Amino acid sequence: MVRVTYGAPRRHKKARYFKRAKGFWGGRSRLWRTVYESVVRALAYGTAGRHQKKRQYRTLWIARINAASRARGLSYSMLIDGLKKGGVEMNRKQLSELAIHQPAAFDQMVEIARNARSAAASARG
Protein backbone atom coordinates (compact mmCIF):
# COMPACT_ATOMS: atom_id res chain seq x y z
CA MET A 1 0.00 0.00 0.00
CA VAL A 2 1.23 3.45 -0.92
CA ARG A 3 -0.01 6.45 1.03
CA VAL A 4 -1.74 8.96 -1.25
CA THR A 5 -0.93 12.62 -0.63
CA TYR A 6 -2.31 15.70 -2.29
CA GLY A 7 0.80 17.83 -1.77
CA ALA A 8 1.51 18.88 -5.34
CA PRO A 9 -2.10 19.45 -6.50
CA ARG A 10 -2.92 21.42 -3.35
CA ARG A 11 0.20 23.54 -3.76
CA HIS A 12 -0.66 24.25 -7.39
CA LYS A 13 -4.22 25.22 -6.48
CA LYS A 14 -3.01 27.55 -3.73
CA ALA A 15 -0.42 29.03 -6.08
CA ARG A 16 -3.17 29.88 -8.58
CA TYR A 17 -5.15 31.71 -5.91
CA PHE A 18 -2.10 33.51 -4.48
CA LYS A 19 -1.20 34.65 -7.98
CA ARG A 20 -4.70 36.13 -8.40
CA ALA A 21 -4.41 37.82 -5.00
CA LYS A 22 -1.26 39.73 -5.95
CA GLY A 23 -1.71 43.39 -5.14
CA PHE A 24 -4.32 42.73 -2.45
CA TRP A 25 -3.55 44.44 0.83
CA GLY A 26 -2.18 42.72 3.94
CA GLY A 27 -3.42 39.25 4.80
CA ARG A 28 -5.59 39.24 1.71
CA SER A 29 -2.46 38.48 -0.28
CA ARG A 30 -0.64 36.33 2.32
CA LEU A 31 -3.01 34.17 4.40
CA TRP A 32 -4.53 31.20 2.61
CA ARG A 33 -8.08 31.37 3.97
CA THR A 34 -8.28 35.12 3.54
CA VAL A 35 -6.74 34.90 0.07
CA TYR A 36 -9.31 32.31 -0.98
CA GLU A 37 -12.26 34.35 0.32
CA SER A 38 -10.93 37.55 -1.21
CA VAL A 39 -10.34 36.03 -4.63
CA VAL A 40 -13.77 34.36 -4.74
CA ARG A 41 -15.42 37.62 -3.68
CA ALA A 42 -13.37 39.61 -6.20
CA LEU A 43 -14.49 37.30 -9.00
CA ALA A 44 -18.13 37.74 -7.93
CA TYR A 45 -17.75 41.53 -7.85
CA GLY A 46 -16.08 41.39 -11.26
CA THR A 47 -19.07 39.57 -12.73
CA ALA A 48 -21.52 42.02 -11.18
CA GLY A 49 -19.33 44.93 -12.34
CA ARG A 50 -19.43 43.79 -15.95
CA HIS A 51 -23.22 43.87 -15.83
CA GLN A 52 -23.33 47.26 -14.08
CA LYS A 53 -20.95 48.71 -16.64
CA LYS A 54 -23.55 48.29 -19.39
CA ARG A 55 -26.21 50.06 -17.28
CA GLN A 56 -23.86 52.90 -16.39
CA TYR A 57 -22.87 53.52 -20.00
CA ARG A 58 -26.51 53.66 -21.08
CA THR A 59 -27.20 56.18 -18.28
CA LEU A 60 -24.25 58.28 -19.47
CA TRP A 61 -25.43 58.23 -23.08
CA ILE A 62 -28.95 59.25 -22.04
CA ALA A 63 -27.59 62.13 -19.93
CA ARG A 64 -25.51 63.37 -22.87
CA ILE A 65 -28.41 63.13 -25.32
CA ASN A 66 -30.70 64.89 -22.86
CA ALA A 67 -28.25 67.77 -22.39
CA ALA A 68 -27.71 68.17 -26.13
CA SER A 69 -31.40 67.97 -27.00
CA ARG A 70 -32.44 70.41 -24.25
CA ALA A 71 -29.89 72.87 -25.62
CA ARG A 72 -31.88 72.65 -28.86
CA GLY A 73 -35.25 73.10 -27.14
CA LEU A 74 -36.42 69.50 -26.96
CA SER A 75 -36.45 67.13 -24.00
CA TYR A 76 -34.88 63.66 -24.20
CA SER A 77 -38.21 61.84 -24.14
CA MET A 78 -39.64 64.07 -26.89
CA LEU A 79 -36.52 63.52 -29.00
CA ILE A 80 -36.69 59.73 -28.67
CA ASP A 81 -40.45 59.74 -29.33
CA GLY A 82 -39.97 61.92 -32.41
CA LEU A 83 -37.17 59.76 -33.77
CA LYS A 84 -39.30 56.63 -33.35
CA LYS A 85 -42.23 58.33 -35.11
CA GLY A 86 -39.84 59.54 -37.82
CA GLY A 87 -38.59 55.99 -38.41
CA VAL A 88 -35.01 56.69 -37.31
CA GLU A 89 -33.42 53.58 -35.83
CA MET A 90 -30.37 54.80 -34.00
CA ASN A 91 -29.20 53.60 -30.61
CA ARG A 92 -28.34 55.84 -27.70
CA LYS A 93 -24.60 55.34 -28.02
CA GLN A 94 -24.64 56.54 -31.63
CA LEU A 95 -26.88 59.48 -30.75
CA SER A 96 -24.58 60.61 -27.94
CA GLU A 97 -21.55 60.31 -30.23
CA LEU A 98 -23.36 62.44 -32.83
CA ALA A 99 -24.20 65.04 -30.19
CA ILE A 100 -20.54 65.31 -29.15
CA HIS A 101 -18.62 64.96 -32.41
CA GLN A 102 -21.08 66.03 -35.12
CA PRO A 103 -23.44 68.69 -33.77
CA ALA A 104 -24.77 69.51 -37.24
CA ALA A 105 -25.91 65.92 -37.76
CA PHE A 106 -27.50 65.94 -34.30
CA ASP A 107 -29.33 69.14 -35.26
CA GLN A 108 -30.79 67.25 -38.23
CA MET A 109 -31.93 64.47 -35.90
CA VAL A 110 -33.66 67.02 -33.68
CA GLU A 111 -35.42 68.49 -36.72
CA ILE A 112 -36.55 65.03 -37.85
CA ALA A 113 -37.94 64.41 -34.37
CA ARG A 114 -39.71 67.79 -34.28
CA ASN A 115 -41.28 67.30 -37.71
CA ALA A 116 -42.38 63.75 -36.93
CA ARG A 117 -43.97 64.80 -33.63
CA SER A 118 -45.81 67.73 -35.21
CA ALA A 119 -47.00 65.52 -38.11
CA ALA A 120 -48.28 62.92 -35.64
CA ALA A 121 -50.01 65.64 -33.59
CA SER A 122 -51.73 67.15 -36.65
CA ALA A 123 -52.81 63.68 -37.83
CA ARG A 124 -54.50 63.08 -34.48
CA GLY A 125 -56.63 66.13 -34.90
Model confidence at 97: pLDDT above 80: yes
Domain boundaries of the chain, sorted by first residue? 9-124
Cα 104 to Cα 12, 29, 108: the distances in Å are 59, 53, 7
Give the model's confidence band at 4: pLDDT under 50 very low, under 70 low, under 90 confident, else very high. confident
Between 3.40.605.10, 3.40.50.2020, 3.40.50.720, 1.10.1900.20, what CATH number should domain 9-124 receive? 1.10.1900.20
Global pTM value: 0.78
Residue 125: which pLDDT band, with cuts at 50, 70 and 90?
low
pLDDT of 56 above 70: yes
pLDDT band, very low/low/confident/very high, at 117 (cuts 50, 70, 90): very high
